Chains A and B, each alone.
Chain A
Amino acid sequence: MICRTATVLLILAASALPLWAPQAREAPRPKQESLAIVVNQSNPINDLAFSELRAVFLGERRHWPNGRRITLVMMEPGQPERDAMLREVCKMGEPDLRRRLLQGLLTGEILVSPKTLATPVGVRKFVFNVPGAIGYLRPADVDGSVKVLRIDGHLPGDAEYQLWIPERAAP
């Protein structure tokens, strides 16, 4: 009887131990900046719901309201902007995204696979040149040649904006 009671007490004590343990020191979070969603200046869209943005980047939306075909522009795998997009919007890793895109092409739901470009300059110029294009850029890489979309009514930099990315390391 005593042994059983002692065992129960031991288990209870062990389960309470984590409460007393000193909190693990959190690693300092890197400074964040917002990730802007950019489209061609001729695109009539100014605001996208976050769920719509997800649908666009997963290939579930194929056309803009003006009938223009959506052309996705992604940066190359491994780029922090692409990682942020996969993490925050697509909610999946690189292999899962590729599988999903391939399945979308197979089912015909996705018309064309995303255009992959190496640099923010390339993304900006592509979006500038292709009326149906949509891509993502750091604020510092945005200029007047492309239009920045509001997401759920918020612009990059707003506190409620949902897309964030660690700041670019100083050269």
Chain B
Amino acid sequence: MKVPVFLFVDSMRRRFPSFRKLVLFLVIAIGMNPGLLRAQANSEKSPDPQTLQALLDRIDRLEARVRQLEAARAESPVATSPEPQRPAAPPAVVSPEPAQANPTPEHEAEPSEHAEAERMDLSKTLLRIRGFGDVTLHGDNQKGDTTSFSLGQLNLFVTSDISDKFKFLSEIVFEGGPDNLYGQPEGTRNLFTVDVERYLVQYSHNDYFNLSAGRYHTAIGYYNTAYHHSTWLQTTTGRPLLFEFEDRGGILPIHNVGVEAFGRIPSGRLGLHYVAEIGNGRSSRTPLEEEPVQNELDENNHKAVNFAIFARPSKIPGLQAGFSIYRDLLTPVAQPAVGETILAAHAVYSLTNFEWLNEALVIRHAPQGLGHIYQTPGFYSQISRRFGSYRPYFRYQYENASPHEPIFPDIALRAGPSAGVRFDASESVALKLQYDFIGLRNQPATQGLTLQLGFTF
């Protein structure tokens, strides 16, 4: 009914410029009509000034609406959908019933994300921030450890659409110290520090070619690029030992600074993808640096390269399998250079209610001139099943380095199971309870219990 009244008012306004006066006149004339007056007297309903004022206000609003619509039409003649062409849908699509008049207001149209976005639009807020965090209570039987509450990484995940093709992405992480670089603590306890864990400008040409430059997570295996610095996204309370961050005693070059290209490979239902990376690689173990990631200066001219390929067959949703090869040259001071090769393979089956992650890798260190290669194998397997809000899980992990390993002799053997349960208290908050057993070579095994509250915001 809105449209006829609106059109009537509009046409009257065009015919009579002083439409408001005409309405007043009509109201007064009707009011003075004896018959009507009699009828009003009979029905004891007198036209009070409030009703008149309400009518006038309504006319004012309608006139304002007409002006607004006329102005909008004059400004953007093609920005709105051509409503009158409604019956032009394909014959097979059109319902036999008459099209339902939609009661929604016209302002729903949002042409703001027009395709011509290659220029910077200063009127738009480009920056988006999501956050991840966790609070943990942990206790274990390791000598010197105390049962403590600890604040986990506070991760601010920042993205920005610079243009249609360019995007900025970063993870800014606040975390409590000290760092643990291959077993040696660095920094002060209970003091928060800031790490820019990822810092990328990404160019997306199409699905087959994308280019990123900056600091990224190396595409070794699956875990490292699936969860990044979000504890909440992970099923368990922490990463597998193999994929621990460098500043938490990890043995892999988790981060790298350089350039990476990635995308799909035309392969039909096989769903092949590739990742090719070149960067500074990690700093050598000796002498121990404060920062294992070479953010601004490489210790040598040799660049670390990594190539990964994986398949996501469309016939089996949730399955991903692939392998990667990483190559670098480490040049520790007063020691022979060490060639580093990391071969990794993974097979992951991840659905909403079921998850089975399997990864294995071997790190090969070949000191030049010594003629001996040190191999450090490792793997983990993790399985979980969701029952409503609960997700019990189990993980077994293993890594075994030689005591004479030139880069991380302190790692030795670490192997054992972890079991726990994750409870999703809400869509954004998860409570996890996990038991860990880690067997060590020539040392007593460690057992630990962790209660963690992970969240996103």
Q: Report A58 CB to chain B, min CB distance, Å.
A: 9
Interface-facing stretch out of B9-17, B97-105, B303-311, B373-381: B97-105
- 8 A-B residue pairs with CB within 8 Å: A63-B206, A92-B352, A111-B204, A115-B113, A118-B108, A129-B81, A144-B86, A148-B90
In the complex, what distance in Å separates the CA atom of A103 from the CA atom of B106? 34
Q: Is the C-beta of A106 less than 8 angstroms from some C-beta in chain B?
A: yes
A69 interface residue per 8 A CB criterion: yes
Among A98, A118, A156, chain B packs the most CB atoms within 10 A around the CB of A156
Q: Give the interface size bracket for A toward B.
A: 35 or more
A10 within 8 Å of B (CB atoms): no
Task: Indicate whether B111 reaches chain A with its CB closer than 8 angstroms.
Answer: yes
Chain A residues touching B, majority SS: mixed
Number of A-B contacts defined by CB within 8 Å: 150
Closest A residue to B228 by beta carbon equals: A106
- Residue from B87, B111, B312, B317 within 8 A of A143 (CB atoms): B87
Contacts of B293 in A (CB 8 A): none
Q: Write the residues of chain B forming the contact surface with A, with a CB cutoff of 8 angstroms.
A: 79-83, 85-90, 92-95, 97, 99-100, 102, 104, 106, 108-111, 113-115, 130, 157, 159, 161, 164-165, 167, 169, 200, 202, 204-207, 212, 225-228, 230, 233, 269, 312, 314, 317, 352, 424, 427, 456
> B228 near A130 (CB under 8 angstroms)?
no
CA of A67 to CA of B263, assembled, Å:
13
Assess whether A120 is in contact with B102, with CB atoms less than 8 Å apart: yes
Contact present for B226 and A129 (CB under 8 Å)? no
* Residue in chain A with minimal CB distance to B456: A102
In the complex, which residues 42-65 of chain A have their Cβ closer than 8 Å to any Cβ of chain B?
51, 54-55, 60-63
Chain A, residues 133-146, CB within 8 Å of chain B (1/0): the string is: 00000111111110
Q: Pick the contact of A139 from B93, B130, B167 — CB < 8 Å?
A: B93
Q: Least Cβ distance of B433 to chain A in Å?
A: 20
* B104 and A122 within 8 A (CB): yes
A119 contacts B104, CB within 8 Å? yes
Interface contact A143-B88, CB-CB below 8 Å = yes
Q: Contact at B108–A111, with CB atoms within 8 Å?
A: no
Contacting pair B204 A69 (CB below 8 A)? yes
